Chain A
Amino acid sequence: MLEVKNVSKRFGKFQALKDVSFTVPNNGRALLLGPNGAGKSTMIKAVMGVHRFAGEIIVDGINVSRKGVQARERIGYVPQYSAFYETLTVDQESKFIAKIKGASKDAIQEKLAIVGLTDATKKTMKALSGGMRQRFALAMALLTNPPMLIFDEPLANIDLKGQLDFMGLARNLARGGHTLLIATHLTGMSEFADQVIVLNRGRKIAEGTPDVLLAQLDPDQTIYLRPKAGHEKEVSEILARYNAKIINDQSLTMVVSIPNSRKFTLLNSLFSNGGVLDDIAIEPSKIEAAYTKFLEEKAPA
């Protein structure tokens, strides 16, 4: 569905992207991960044909540089900052975008209903909250039922409720057979991804499924332990033996962090010592939990 081949982009002396290549298959759900300034937004703008770039980007078999309009017909885009004409009402703005996209009035109603904005059509764009604007942007992205959806930091500028609402909608879309590309930094969106591309300083530094990347990264895992009364010292000694990092031991429950590869030996030791624990909980590894460490280790100099 999306092929990015050796894409480079320079702004004056600043190299924003350097030889980035990746592929997102049909119905794939890719997460473009990286810290601020990694080149994610530049990459998305290149895919959308907004930036000129060196290299090649193909969307559904169509070269973005040569046939940008046809390529964009196959993409629904939700930007980081949803910029609309502020004095227009939701109704006027949606009709304007629908006219550009060649969508019908019925499609507008249908998509506004999906994102729950049917009652807001008389409001001006500037009267919408951050979350409502993102939902509106999503409705507009869906107007012509494009096979691919691209999100650029979709949760960056909205409050928690807006984030939860938006995540719910995105979850439904992920099930709906769209190809998804989501550019984000630490926002907890990895649940959508079956593919992760990590960018840093304009370069691709890793790519793979979340599981494979996690295995490569050996990320620290967070473990919550509640020692039995009188066994606190014993537990602390075991943790020290395995170089587990104690994050918090001020309450009944200790919070410790240990690389995934040493987790089982630590647990084995804790359980083989005659039951020094009352309770234990392990937080599942997420790609975001590890990628900061990954950036430090693998970033080009």
Chain B
Amino acid sequence: MNSPRVISAIIGQTVKESIRAKWLIMFTVVYFLVTINVPFLILIIERLLPPSTLNSYLVYLGTISYPFLPLLSLPLGALSIVEEKESGTLQYLLSNPISRMQFLAGRFFGLMISTSLVLLAGYGIAAVVAFNVRYSVLQGLGFIIGLSLGLNVIMLSVALVISTMCRRKVTALSVAIFMWFLLVLVSDFGGSFGAILAVANGTKIALIAALLNPIESAGLISEIHLNAYGAELAMTGEIIENSFGASNGLWIMGVSLFLWGALGVGLMIILFKYVDLV
């Protein structure tokens, strides 16, 4: 069996390339800065906020970081295959004793490792530096990181679908950015739900839109899990809690995320296997 050897070679090359390209370090810094939230940190250090505020901060962290996460994985993933199509390296690689699935697995897991490292390092360093990592915080932060990693997998699979279908880098990047814009716009973060709620059956539409949006689903899971309340629980969060209750709401959003993951990975595999790549 040459599969593990071949896949590990592609994974290694993908991770090394991401380190060489410097984006891994750049995004780690971005996530570190998003996580430590300097003004908030100063208020805590000056004891101007009660200790319970930390939980509110974690809710905020999930809400603020999930919409930005696809900005890491969507463009990187969307460029990864189409870049190799344009340069000709994909054709050369596939002319070697390597199957399409081995290449895809290597590239997917390589990107997953690279981007997960960014999230772990960004959040992790901030946790150590800013919050002095207490168990309770670690638990909450761990949940946010875990959810981020899940969302990252979904976004990578969507990005690789885009990369497989596009023939030019600029097209792939445009589609990826548009996809991000669409997902963020149709969410509480983008402010669309306020408008949706004003129309007839707005509650149902907002609920369906939230279920169809993995970023929104991830944000809702994190809010409900971290017992957000009042203003912390955004509009769709309140709808979910009132309609289904917190526990059922978690399940529904979890299933939504799982289906996104299954659909993304499934589509990525099918397309990469059957589409003419070069």
Contact = CB atoms under 8 A, between A and B. Distances in A.
B275 to A, nearest CB: 9
B18 to A, nearest CB: 12
Interface string A234-259: 00000000000000000000000000
Nearest to B103: A100
A101 B96 contact: yes
B91 interface: yes
B9 A83 contact: no
B89 A84 contact: yes
B276 interface: yes
A22 interface: no
Nearest to A97: B96
A291 B260 CA distance: 56
B98 interface: yes
A87 to B, nearest CB: 6
Contacts of B97: 69-70, 72-73, 100-102
B276 A51 contact: yes
Contacts of B6: 99-100
A82 B88 CA distance: 8
B95 A77 contact: yes
Contacts of B5: 99-100, 102
Contacts of B49: none
Contacts of B95: 48-50, 72, 75, 77, 79
Given A51-B276, A72-B96, A87-B20, A102 B91 contact: no
A188 to B, nearest CB: 25
A45 B89 contact: no
B88 A83 contact: yes
Contacts of B98: 69, 72, 100
A196 B9 CA distance: 38
Contacts of A68: 99
A84 B20 CA distance: 16
A165 B13 CA distance: 31
B13 A79 contact: no
Interface in B1-51: 2, 5-6, 8-10, 13, 17, 20
Interface in A93-134: 96-97, 99-102
A52 interface: yes
B270 interface: no
A68 B2 CA distance: 13
A85 interface: yes
A50 B93 CA distance: 10
Interface string A258-283: 00000000000000000000000000
A280 to B, nearest CB: 48
Given A51-B276, A102-B2, A79 B96 contact: no
A52 B274 contact: yes
B134 to A, nearest CB: 42
Most buried by A among B87, B92, B93, B99: B92
B2 A50 contact: no
Contacts of A96: 9, 13
Given A68-B99, A75-B95, A85-B89, 17 more contacts: A49-B94, A50-B95, A50-B277, A50-B278, A51-B278, A52-B276, A70-B97, A77-B92, A79-B91, A83-B88, A83-B91, A85-B17, A87-B20, A100-B5, A100-B6, A100-B9, A102-B97
28 contacts: A45-B278, A48-B95, A49-B94, A50-B278, A51-B276, A51-B278, A52-B276, A72-B96, A72-B98, A73-B97, A75-B95, A77-B95, A77-B96, A79-B95, A81-B88, A82-B92, A83-B92, A84-B92, A85-B89, A96-B13, A99-B5, A99-B9, A100-B9, A100-B10, A100-B98, A101-B96, A101-B97, A102-B2
